[in-house]
Structures are given as C-alpha cells and as structure tokens.
Amino acid sequence: MSNAPAPSGKPPEHPNRAARRYCVGEHAVDVERTAPGLHIVATPIGNLGDVTLRALATLAGADLIACEDTRVTRKLLDRYRIATPLMPYHDHNAPKVRPKLLRQLAEGAAIALVSDAGTPLISDPGFKLVRAAQNAGHAVGVVPGASAPLAALCVAGLPTDQFFFAGFLPAKPGARRARIAELARIPATLVLFETAPRIAATLADLAGGLGDREAAVCRELTKIHEEVRNGRLAELAQSCVTGDIKGEIVLVVGPPTPTEPVSAEHADALLRQALARASLKDAVDEAADATGLPRRQLYQRALAFAKQAGHGPPR
C-alpha cells in the first residue's frame, strides 16, 4: 500500500469498482484502497515476475491506472488478476488526457501511473503530469522497482561510479553525430536506448565520435532471449551489421580513458611546428586538438612565438 498522504475526509469510492485484490498463484491478497494522489509505479521490464508486492498492492488499490498502452499493462494485470480500470496516457494524447486526470485527482482519486516497462518518466511524458499534480497541490508518491538503464549497468561490466543516461540518440545521422560529439566530453559511463534497426549505425557513429571505447549491447533484459555482448565499439558495430539483432536494447559505453597531462614543453613544440606551416589560428586549433589544452592558453603562447619569429600580426 502506498504511503502517500491522504487529504482529510474519506474520498468517494470509484463507481462500479471491483474488489481490491491481487493474486499470486492461487493465493489472493485483499488490499486497502490506495491513498488519494498520484502514484508513480515501476513495472517489470520483461519478466512479469519482477514486480514488487507494494506495486501490486498500489495497482490493485488504485481507482485508475494511467498507462502508455492498455494492451501491454493488461498483460501484467491479468497475470496478477487485478481489476483496476485503465486509461491510456502517452505522448500523443497527453495534452488532452492530463486535465482529466488532474480533475480526478482534485476529486480525491487514487491514480497509479505506469509505463509499458520499467520506471515511469524515463523517456516518457510522465514528468509533465507529475509537475502539474505537484503544482496543483496533490500528493505524489513513488513505488520504485525495475529500471532498464540500471539493469543494463549491472550486467555490462563497465564502471558504475559515475554514469550519464542519454536516452535515445537522434535518428538522423547528422544530428546523431552532433549529439555524440557533445557526449564525448562527459567523463562517465554512458547509457543509451536504441532500436534494433539502428544499432549498427549508432555503434559505428559512437566509435567514430568517442574513440574505440569498451561497450556492452544489452538486449532483451530479463526475458527468455536475454543477451549481453561485450567488446569495443567498432567490433560491436561490425558484429551487429552481420548479426540478427532484435528486441529492446540498452547500450552501455565505458568512460573515456584518462590521459597523461600534456607538458608545457610538448605543447610549445607542437605550436612551433604548426606555426612553421600554418596560420596562427590554424596552429592553435591543431595544438588544441592534439593536447586538449584551452585554446586561449595556446593562443597566448602562439602569439608570443609568432612575434619572436617576426611573423607579424596573427593571420
């Protein structure tokens, strides 16, 4: 049962509400009505056994379950014989349905929000409903559980002390490479969602933009055909081109390898060599790419060298 606070007074029962219970095998568990408010409930990412008892009690005791796809959520409810009514709530109907849900919350309803799989609000529109409910003064609670990004991190065999969840990369190649260039600067393990048809191209772009880092392709986690492929990005890209990849995929990419700090002498030598054959601006760009040092710092050094050599004003 959720522990979200209830308003004063007893809220009205949902009309024609069936018995509030769930079943595990042949064992039926009667539950109390879930406290009024919005309850963010994590559901399994594949294996229907990966659901908490608190989640089952919350779903069974709620007046309504808002879900992405009623067909998907119905499979979970049928497994545990939960009779709570369902209402679709997804990207396409959210602006229309959200006011209805807020009105029901204002009337004292207990509403559970679920996604098709895993923890709601991760790459879905749920955060707008949470924010609107909070702004309206309604109780909002969470019933944590399965999460695909965390499950992938657990089995990827890559550093987990720092990680960055980047969701889905853009589908168009140019936009995808631009986004990868932004991610390259993050000193942490990257976690991404990807579709099977795009996985080979995405891995190849990641190898080109991040270097050949360690990675893991985590497919169909918790399901019958669960698979984790470990390797370097370029190697995984090639294997996904020649292999038959299907199902839901979480991609985990290791952090950049720490590099030794560049000495001032080495940076100066690179600048002098570049100045001998290129403009000051091009020499600074070349040295910055090679060393990772700030362009402003390199520009001041290059300007001094150019004056010493009598090259005149910077070009």
**Rounded mean pLDDT of 118-141?**
92
Query: How confident is residue 169, by pLDDT bands cut at 50, 70 and 90?
Result: very high
User: Please, what is the average pLDDT of the chain?
Assistant: 89
pLDDT reported for residue 273: 80
Residue 129: per-residue pLDDT: 96
Q: According to the model, what pLDDT value does residue 261 have?
A: 67
Q: Work out the number of other CB atoms within 10 angstroms of the CB of residue 96.
A: 9
Pick the CATH number of 149-253 from 3.90.1150.10, 1.25.40.20, 3.40.50.970, 3.30.950.10: 3.30.950.10
Q: What is the average pLDDT across 181-188?
A: 91
pLDDT at 158 over 90: yes
Instruction: Give the integer Cα–Cα distance in Å for 7 and 205.
Output: 52
pLDDT of residue 71 exceeding 70, the answer is: yes
- pTM for the model: 0.76
- pLDDT > 90: what percent of the chain? 69
Residues 6+ away with beta carbon under 8 Å from 264: none
Give the model's pLDDT for residue 185. Answer: 86
Query: In which band, very low, low, confident or very high, does the pLDDT at 86 lie, cut at 50, 70 and 90?
Result: very high
DSSP assignment of 60-128 equals: HH-SEEEES-HHHHHHHHHHTT----EEE--TTTHHHHHHHHHHHHHTT-EEEE--SSBSTTSSSTHHH
Residue 18 banded pLDDT, cuts 50, 70, 90: low
**In the chain, domain spans:** 21-146, 149-253, 264-308
Q: Which two tokens mark 64?
A: 């309504």
Check residue 270 and give its pLDDT.
79
- How far apart CA 196 and CA 128 sit, in angstroms, is 29
pLDDT at 299: 87
How far, in Å, CA of 53 to CA of 264, rounded?
61
Rg (CA), the chain: 27
Mean pLDDT in residue range 129-139: 97
Give Cβ neighbours of residue 87 (< 8 Å, ≥ 6 apart).
64, 65, 66, 67, 70, 97, 100, 101
Q: State the residue for tokens 């796809």.
A: 69
Q: Residues of the chain with pLDDT > 70: what percent?
A: 90
Class of domain 21-146: alpha beta
**Model pLDDT for residues 238-292, shown as the tens digit of each residue:** 988 876 788 999 999 999 887 666 677 778 887 888 888 788 888 888 888 777 7
Report whether pLDDT(36) > 90: yes
Q: Quick one: pLDDT band at residue 314, thresholds 50, 70, 90?
A: very low
